[in-house]
A and B are shown apart, each in its own frame.
Chain A
Amino acid sequence: TQLLEQSPQFLSIQEGENLTVYCNSSSVFSSLQWYRQEPGEGPVLLVTVVTGGEVKKLKRLTFQFGDARKDSSLHITAAQPGDTGLYLCAGYYGGSQGNLIFGKGTKLSVKP
């Protein structure tokens, strides 16, 4: 079974705090994507990581792909209420299989 485990499932923090969420699998991915989904909306792509060990930054968000390309993390610095949402990771095996495997997500709430 292809599984992506995300942790924590829920996270409630105060504005200004830092946080890290994780995405883990026993499988090796060709690439991995992070999406954010706000209530009542569809997931919106934040970043794609491809190379083992790769680090990408998007303003206060830092994404890292594990060296073995089996796991990833998302770190948010100085969280703001606008960061509230469901963070989904999705792994892509590549080749002819062509489908994304999604985790259940981390539901983040940032209180003012």
Chain B
Amino acid sequence: ETGVTQTPRHLVMGMTNKKSLKCEQHLGHNAMYWYKQSAKKPLELMFVYSLEERVENNSVPSRFSPECPNSSHLFLHLHTLQPEDSALYLCASSQDRVSKNIQYFGAGTRLSVL
């Protein structure tokens, strides 16, 4: 148990569906992250929130829309995804964006787009 909880753990969706991934951290951290993990690729940083403000968006397509309503919760809203978006989506949190940036990860959501 890392203190970061992601739901759902598995998700299958069609290309026309709309779904949301949820992340909750119980560590009192101020920064939260979304990563995409695909086979044979390094973890790809998608979005960074610091103190509930989005501070980074790494050229992610607009079909991915993040939301951070408070410092403990992070969402990733998905719509009209493509099959190549199938991957493991990981949420992480850290105390802040400095101090060695030690990140704690959730177990991930395994997403399959049909």
Whether A103 lies near B42 (C-beta < 8 A) is yes
Interface size on A, residues (CB 8 A): 27
Interface residue A112 (Cβ < 8 Å from any Cβ of B): no
- Chain B residues lying within 8 Å of A73, measured Cβ to Cβ, are none
Main SS at interface, chain A: loop
Interface residue B74 (Cβ < 8 Å from any Cβ of A): no
> How does the 8 Å CB contact mask read for A4-19 relative to B, with 1 for contact and 0 for none?
1000000000000000
- Chain A residues lying within 8 Å of B48, measured Cβ to Cβ, are 98-99
Using CB atoms and an 8 Å cutoff, list the residues of chain B in contact with chain A. 2, 4, 6, 31, 40-43, 45, 48, 56, 90, 92, 97-98, 100-108, 110
Using CB atoms and an 8 Å cutoff, list the residues of chain A in contact with chain B. 4, 30-31, 33, 35, 40-45, 48, 50, 88, 90, 92, 94-96, 98-105
